[in-house]
Structure 1
Amino acid sequence: MLNRLKPYIMLAPVTLMVLGIFAMGLVIGFFQSLGYFPVVGLKDFTLKYYFEVLRDSSFLSSLKFSLYTSLISSILAVVIGVLLAYSILRSKHRKSIEEIIYKLPIIIPHSIAALLVYNILAQSGVLARILYLLGFIVEQNQFPSLIFDRGGIGIIVTYIWKEVPFIAMVVYTVLSNISDKLSDAALNLGANRRQVFWRILLPLIMPSILSSYIIIFAFSFGAFEVPYLLGPTSPKTLPVKAYIEYTNPDLTHRPYTMVINMILTFYSIILVWLYSKTFKLISKFKS
């Protein structure tokens, strides 16, 4: 019993410290979102800040923009990642392809990835210069604005480039552990490769796809650096809007910031709950 508890006992001081800091920050933020901030004279608990934020048009625009960029990038990343995983499974040069996928996007921080996308997609970037040299455009303004645009193209491209390898490797791991006998039996019974993928392989890997989708959606929804570097002036994503509100010199404005943070926390809790349900589904499936 002592040997079993020893790892947990050794990790307890660090775990308690981390959880204590996180819990304390969460509690303080929750109290401030309710209007309790004695430092600046706010001592009454109230829900008015929640009502004002939820009725604010700029907040609703930020929420829609965050959901839009997260949904589009996550869905495209899942589709491309699954197809890439299947192509790796079918490839004769799996190892070299896997190494390229792992080493390029995954190890690069999101802030560096945002700068790379900026240098490629900006109107003065690499792609625009190539099109200019090829004669497709004659002026810089003829290249479409893909950065700082209200469509969030730069943000979406960055997330896709970072998330596709993650999806591909998770799905590939599951695909590689599926017995080839299932596919061989279907092929012997007259099915083609497309039918094997859609009717046999895809249902088997769907739990892993769902769990991976939840992970990348949760990250992109709450990420700060990419939309801060590549996002438009308006609307902002929720993390960027929360940062702007937090830097307001008027400290009586702080409860509005904490309301946005609490909403982000609420969404995160829901996504964690969905992930746990999906993980249980995967465990039941494996058993």
Structure 2
Amino acid sequence: MIYSKLKPYIMVLPVSLLMVLFIYALINGLIQSFGILPAAGLTKFTLLYYKEIFTRRDMMSSLFLSLYISLVSSLIAVILGVLISAAASASGIVKKRSFQLLKVPIILPHTVSALLIINVFSQSGILSRLSYHLDIIHNQQQFISLVFDKGSIGIILAYLWKEIPFVTLVVVTIMANIDSSLGEAAINLGATRLKAFFNITLPLCLPSIVTSFIIVFAYSFGAFEIPFLLGATSPKSLPVLTYLEYTHPDLAHRPYAMVLNSLMTTISVLLTYIYYKILQRNLKKVGVDTNE
């Protein structure tokens, strides 16, 4: 009897402990970002680190690089994901077991994705060697640099490898279940299949498209492994720069890392809020009371 009453609290205990640790780390990091780190002899509250971070050239370069990588990879992933979803829905392949292979890139660890990109797209990779054997290039160094490059092409390719399947699986779930009679009615009234897609199917899928874009953008903006493994020496992405500041031999550099963490956390919270508002609006459209 006592156990049945305590069971709900026992079940949420692991999550509660994780939340406590998360909130503690968040508050501790915020305090350190204001220059309070007794272990390094820093005890006075200051905004100097925030001021320095936003005036440092390497920091602004890292911020713009992370935004560029996230925006480009997310836009391409959404566009290709929607196109694949449309093709899969129209052909009926979405109902076949082979379509579930799209889940493989999502399941694979980031390090495996990075290794795949290196093996295929680097100057010593499969494409480079194939181009050499076909006499397209005379040596492997002539192959275009796609990995460890300042354009971050290798990073974007690695994100696309994981994000396109995710967007496809999110969007195709909605697209494949849209009543086909809506499109057929539009075609009977004189609309082409393309117009029916853009005027009926796409607007109905728009909420899932927007939310998938927000998710993949937030993921690529805050991810560390792939930019660390595939990124150029300079500039570095924001998560990599944060890691380097955190592991700096001089403990007095720790507040810089915490300022960068605070910046990424703020952007992530903003994206989460946007996602929540979109979800809330969609629930209201289907008649779910979000105030309960």
If the length of structure 1 is used for normalisation, what is the TM-score?
Answer: 0.96
Residue of structure 1 equivalent to 2:290: none
Contact 1:207 / 1:281 at 8 angstroms: preserved in 2? no
Residue of structure 1 equivalent to 2:185: 185
Residue correspondences, number: 285
Aligned AA (1:63): L
> Structure 1 residue 18 and structure 2 residue 18: aligned?
yes
Residue of structure 2 equivalent to 1:146: 146
Residue of structure 2 equivalent to 1:258: 258
Runs of 4+ residues deviating >6 angstroms: 4-7
Distance 1:273 1:81 in 2: 24
Alignment of structure 1 residues 163-242 onto 2, 5 Å? 163-242=163-242
Aligned-pair Cα RMSD in Å = 1.7
Distance 2:280 2:16 in 1: 27
CA pair 7-194 structure 1, distance change in 2 beyond 3 A: farther
Residue of structure 1 equivalent to 2:101: 100
Distance 2:39 2:12 in 1: 33
Contact 1:88 / 1:97 at 8 angstroms: preserved in 2? no
CA pair 262-75 structure 1, distance change in 2 beyond 3 A: same
Residue of structure 2 equivalent to 1:83: 83
- Structure 1: runs of 5 or more not aligned: none
Report how far residue 192 of structure 1 moved.
1.3
Other structure's SS at 1:201 match? helix
Distance 1:252 1:92 in 2: 59
Distance 1:8 1:281 in 2: 30
CA pair 97-196 structure 1, distance change in 2 beyond 3 A: farther
If the length of structure 2 is used for normalisation, what is the TM-score?
Answer: 0.94
Contact 1:223 / 1:239 at 8 angstroms: preserved in 2? yes
Contact 1:117 / 1:157 at 8 angstroms: preserved in 2? yes
Identify the range of structure 1 (199-208 vs 6-15) with the bigger mean alpha-carbon deviation. Answer: 6-15
Contact 1:36 / 1:44 at 8 angstroms: preserved in 2? yes
Other structure's SS at 1:55 match? coil
Report how far residue 43 of structure 1 moved.
0.6
Report how far residue 9 of structure 1 moved.
2.1
Aligned AA (1:215): I
Report how far residue 119 of structure 1 moved.
0.6
Distance 1:6 1:179 in 2: 46
Other structure's SS at 2:54 match? helix
Distance 2:192 2:207 in 1: 24
Other structure's SS at 1:233 match? coil
Residue of structure 2 equivalent to 1:38: 38
Contact 1:208 / 1:282 at 8 angstroms: preserved in 2? no
- What are the Cα deviations for residues 229-281 of structure 1, in whole angstroms up to 9, with x where unaligned? 00000110110000011111110111111101110111111011011011112
Distance 1:209 1:85 in 2: 11
Alignment of structure 1 residues 246-285 onto 2, 5 Å? 246-285=246-285
CA pair 202-5 structure 1, distance change in 2 beyond 3 A: farther
Distance 1:268 1:277 in 2: 14
Q: Percent identity?
A: 46
Distance 2:201 2:93 in 1: 21
Report how far residue 7 of structure 1 moved.
6.6
- What are the Cα deviations for residues 154-177 of structure 1, in whole angstroms up to 9, with x where unaligned? 000010110001100111100122
